[in-house]
Structure 1
Amino acid sequence: MQSPLEREAVEYMIEHQILELLDNLTSMLLYERPAKPVEFLINQLEKLKVARQTRKDYPCLFDESNLDTVFGILDITKQGYITLMQYREALKTLGIRDFAMNPSGSIEDKITLTTFKSEAKAGLLNACSTFKTL
């Protein structure tokens, strides 16, 4: 059973998305492996501050070329689409939790690159905006 102080600490961390922030920063740090990690982290926090104000350009591990690559790996026969199951699993693998379960093309079981990238970008934006909204 949690004490009131522990409960308050957990609520604070959830409200301010502290664990998500630390997870994103740690992932970027390990991926980039900068020579000056403290400066790198400060830079990422500054970028996040600007992104919070402008609502764009959130610091994120994945960029558009990464999304093209993921789609290309899944579309091995170069048909121009992936299945709904591939789409869902790919977004989950990218760490995206909140995304359209049945996007455009899901009825035909053919998710295009455009749809995949649109949903992935929106999900990554949400996942990378690790701060309490104003």
Structure 2
Amino acid sequence: MAVTLRGRLATSQFGAMEANSSREIEARNYLEKHRIMELLTYLTSALLFFRPAMFQMLDSSNKGSISFIQYKEALKTLGLCTADEVLKDDGHGITCEKFMYEVKKKTQEIWSAF
């Protein structure tokens, strides 16, 4: 009887794994078919292009640049950089153009993984 019960549990677990895999495949197909990832990338880029408010908030003195620390914190806030990720500080301030370029690049890197 234990073998039968064990066999049923194994079959049940396999069925659950198969169902999860099937649902995951179905979800991925849906995202690809409707180009959801491309839409999210576009919306994020458009938001930062048309509303560079985050940079303006960080550049409160209107110097036209922000510090490297502000830049890294902004990337973390946007979910584009982890706390332990190493970024290269070249010693220069980050301009709005460079900020927007890097945000767009990092956004594309993240979404390309999907």
Q: TM-score, normalised by structure 2?
A: 0.56
- Report the RMSD for the aligned CA atoms in angstroms: 3.5
Which ranges in structure 1 are unaligned for 5 or more consecutive residues? 23-41, 52-57
Which of 62, 65, 78 is the equivalent residue of 1:94?
78
Structure 1 or 2: more helix by fraction: 2
The residue type paired with residue 50 of structure 2 is: S
Which ranges in structure 2 are unaligned for 5 or more consecutive residues? 1-12
Distance in 1 (alpha carbons) for counterparts of 2:40 and 2:104: 12
Once the two structures are superposed, the pairs formed by residues 12-91 of structure 1 within 5 Å of their partners are: 46-48=34-36, 51=38, 58-60=39-41, 61-62=43-44, 63=46, 64-66=49-51, 68-91=52-75
Distance in 1 (alpha carbons) for counterparts of 2:86 and 2:96: 15
The superposition leaves residues 9-51 of structure 1 with CA deviations (integer Å, 9 ceiling, x where unpaired) of 7xxx9xxxx7xx99xxxxxxxxxxxxxxxxxxx68851247x5
Q: Identity over aligned residues, as a percent?
A: 26
Which aligned runs of 4 or more in structure 1 are off by greater than 3 angstroms?
A: 42-45
Q: Which has the larger radius of gyration?
A: 2
Distance in 1 (alpha carbons) for counterparts of 2:36 and 2:86: 25
Q: How many residues align?
A: 85
Distance in 2 (alpha carbons) for counterparts of 1:119 and 1:100: 14
